[in-house]
Chains A and B, each alone.
Chain A
Amino acid sequence: MSLVLIAVAVLSCLGLIFGVALGFASIKFKVQEDPIAEKIDNILPQTQCGQCGYPGCKPYAEAVATGDDITKCAPGGQQTIEIIAQIMGVDVPVASDDDVEPIKTVAFIIEEDCIGCTKCIQACPVDAILGTTKQMHTIIADECTGCDLCVEPCPVDCIEMIPVPQKTSNWNGQLNIIPIKQLES
């Protein structure tokens, strides 16, 4: 009988000790993991274009973290989808044939047509448009994310989205873009 009691007592003590140790460890060595929404937000292209149906990149990141479709980011393209899939631990959806890789564009205001209505300024999510009432507006091309949001509100259709030109400074090393020219023979 006393043997049984001793066994119970020893096991109880062990249980208590390990319990305390584990409890302590769980608090003391708690791993502060990056919230998944934050991670996804860092991957998104931050155009704030709203093409995903959310009012910005962060809301979409949060939606993805809570289980929304990961294929809604058009400006990010297939690459972004793959990275999100990796973070979320899901399979990469098969890209359909009509999915084309997005071309980076910047907005351009045809300045002689601008009437200075400031509507595009209010639409720009990154304050990349300069101008004031009844003054001509212009795009700060370096800050433009190419989100398209300024095109719609313009009452005189003076905003165009033009593709970023390829320069020697941003050449991607692909030789196939070089124009072929027959040298004189």
Chain B
Amino acid sequence: MMSNIFELIDQGQQWEFHGGIHPPARKERTNNKAIVDGPVSETLYLPLSQHSGQPAICAVKVGDTVEQGQIIGHSEGFISANVLSPINASVKAIEDYPASHPSGLPTKTIVLTPNVLPAQHWPPLSLDDDPQDIIKRIKDSGITGLGGASFPTSVKLSPRQNIDILIINGAECEPYITADDALMRAHNEQIIAGILVMKKLLTPQRVIIAIEDNKPEAIHAMTIAAKPHEHIMIRAIPTLYPAGGEKQLVEVITGQQVPSGKIPADLGIVVQNVATSYAIADVIFNGIPLLSRIVTVTGDLVKRPGNYRVTLGTPVIDVLNFCGYEPQPQQKLIMGGPMMGFALNNANAPVIKATNCIIAASNIELPNAPDEQNCIRCGDCEQVCPANLLPQQLQWFAKDKDHEKLTQHNLFDCIECGACAYVCPSHIPLVQYYRVAKAEIKESHKEQQLAQRAKERFELRSARLERDKVERENRNRLANERRQAAMTNNNDGDAIAAALARIKAKKSGQEPAAQNAPQKPAGNDRVAAAIARAKAKKVAAEKDDSDTTAQSPDKARVNDAIARAKAKKAAKLAEQDVAQQQPNENNEAEDKKARIAATIAKAKAKKAAAQADAAVDDNASPAEPVIEKVVDDAAAQKKARIAATIAKAKAKKAAAQAQAQANDAVDDNASPAEPVIENVVDDAAAQKKARIAATIAKAKAKKAAAQEQAQANDTVDDNASPAEPVIEKVFDDAAAQKKARIAAAVAKAKAKKAAAQEQAQANDTVDDNTSLAEPVIEKVVDDAAAQKKARIAAAVAKAKAKKLAQQTQPKDE
């Protein structure tokens, strides 16, 4: 098929595209003008987006000195182009500046101020160089299609398809513009040189230069230049707008239509502008990259219209002033041709790579379009459409924003040539509708893609959160299982069970406690020991903290430490120790009574202590032996020994003091406990009860002693106070109260025992006065039936003690 076409082309056959119009050319102002160097501007503005595709990435910073031809914006992505500095300059700013774009919106722009420095050129290449090097050089030089679309040339010159035909576009079909015409007349040789470079890169079988037949001089010049190269053909094509359109030119030259959505390269055809060819030759053979371009400056408002070589980045106003610009109200300032160009809304916008023409026309030369009328369905637009579209239908759909229908009617094949609007009798700005519709469709496509991505991200995030949740639950579950397994291994579960069993046993009240005691597992002991330790620590801490109560903190601390150590040891020895318990443990009933009694005693002791006067520290010492004693007694009961110690310590200390006082101060009232105890102990049957009673008695005795001392003995009252710190030790800490209570309950039995021992010791000291305590003891002991009452009383007493402790706390503090 291609060979067929070649044959026809060789025979000089030309085709026609559909439609097309004949607008007034108005090229006569400039088509005989030679190329003149344009103005040297004081400031150049180089937008980073002068081409189709991605904007370049800024490669300089403010204050940098750049050389002519230095890349100041690197191409980003495949379809992108470098931005080069056209002069030796310094970077003045990088800012948003009005774009050379229909919207006039600001875009990122590098602002340069020229320096006077010798120009430096790139080393020239030759046709013998590696094609890759040539492509790279073209890419570096930032050359884009100079016909108007500004598509990066290096991309177009490295197609994936085999290229059969290279078409050089010199049609320049739009009115007013003569830049390519001037270039072809003046630089025909260099254009041919550029064509040879492209031919080397693309290896086409035919190279055809297409020039509209309204440029006879250009055709002549090009024919002369192309003569030595047989494979380069010159074709004069009929003047018909838009013959210079890429797809239209392909159809005119080869008779082939580029299918919708395809590019000419898909047919094996590449179309390049003559100015692009010139720029390629410039950078390859002269080492001068794309730093300037030929711009036609025309219109009835410039005195010296013509074709100027303008440095890229020069503000349009500078170019116009250079040409003798005479501004007028209601004038038009158009960048590009009158058909496809756009009105500039800011004359400071820079000349960019795509700027082939600047028209400054008065309202007379280019009048405003009349008001839009309704479409009369004349169908003229369809007749002139070079893309074989249905402009009238598209217009309806565009007004309806029916994107689906617009796409179905191939809106994106529209080249926006403006032929339809040109012929429209109703002056409908059809192209404007299409541009808006295209922008909307593109935007909605983009939004759809974004929505899709947002959806994906949302779903991924949701999945991730779900996963995290499951993992967390799994972790928690595993941890729970581990903990449970550990508990089972430690027999802690059994411990709890055992505790429950004990409680039950207590309730029943009749079963022997002896069975429970030895069976107590180690874990329970440990717990109790831990509680005791904690309490001991707290006590120690409190001692440290309070100046008034802990007057011999060192001793107390040492004692605590000893107590703790002993408690630990005792806890370890739990099993054997339990087995060796004292006989008094055997009787559960007695045990209970003992406990109750102890509670009462404790409460009373507390009361006594609370009543006691401010203390002198001499008496810290009496507590010591008591503690030691109790601790030594660890063999009896492991659990909460320390707690018990503290609880008991009160009582015992008080007792010891009382005794000491009795002995030393010869106070009759202080000593009465001893004989009573003696009596009770003698009574073998009531041994335990007696012990309890003894405790109570002792406590009362102490109280009495304390009261008496407080009242009577200002000199002796040193001794009365020491109970206070002990009480505080236990009860100050409200948080530990419950623990203390439990521990105390367990330990009370032992307290009694200790008390008994003490009494035994105390018995050695003889004291006659027994009358005070006896009746009390008798009351308690004899009345076996009153056991329950006693228990209740004990509970009440305990509660009162607690309350008292709580009340005293704030006072103390």
Contact = CB atoms under 8 A, between A and B. Distances in A.
B104 A179 contact: yes
A167 interface: yes
A48 B451 CA distance: 10
B534 to A, nearest CB: 35
Interface in B427-459: 432, 435-440, 443, 446-447, 450-455, 457-458
B: interface residue count bin:
35 or more
Nearest to A142: B450
B13 interface: no
Interface in B97-111: 99, 101-105, 107
A100 interface: no
A167 B104 CA distance: 9
A177 B453 CA distance: 29
Interface stretch (A17-25, A87-95, A150-158, A168-176): A168-176
A35 B11 CA distance: 61
A37 B229 CA distance: 66
A: interface residue count bin:
20 to 34
Contacts, number: 87
A173 B436 CA distance: 4
6 contacts: A127-B457, A168-B107, A172-B439, A173-B438, A178-B102, A178-B104
B454 A143 contact: yes
Nearest to B460: A127
| Majority-rule SS of B interface residues | helix
Contacts of B436: 172-174
B491 interface: no
A17 B102 CA distance: 70
A184 B325 CA distance: 12
Given A56-B462, A128-B457, 20 more contacts: A46-B452, A46-B458, A48-B458, A57-B458, A125-B461, A126-B454, A126-B458, A127-B457, A127-B460, A166-B103, A168-B49, A168-B105, A170-B446, A171-B101, A171-B105, A180-B345, A181-B346, A183-B331, A185-B327, A185-B329
Nearest to A124: B461
Interface of A: 41, 44-48, 56-57, 125-128, 143, 145, 166-175, 177-181, 183-185
Contacts of A169: 49, 55
A173 B458 contact: no
Given A46-B455, A173-B439, A181-B346, A126 B331 contact: no
The 4 A-B residue pairs with the shortest CB-CB distance in the complex, in nearest-first order = A173-B436, A46-B451, A173-B439, A46-B454
B328 interface: yes
A160 B149 CA distance: 38
Given A143-B454, A185-B329, A171 B461 contact: no
B458 A178 contact: no
A57 B102 CA distance: 37
A178 B103 contact: yes
Contacts of A48: 454, 458
Given A45-B451, A183-B333, A126 B457 contact: yes
Contacts of B495: none
Contacts of A128: 457
A52 to B, nearest CB: 14
A41 B458 CA distance: 13
A168 B457 CA distance: 28
A126 B452 CA distance: 11
Contact of A57 (B437, B455, B461): B455
Given A45-B451, A183-B333, A173 B345 contact: no
B362 to A, nearest CB: 12
A145 B439 contact: no
Contacts of B461: 125-127
Nearest to B459: A58
Most buried by A among B104, B437, B439, B443: B104
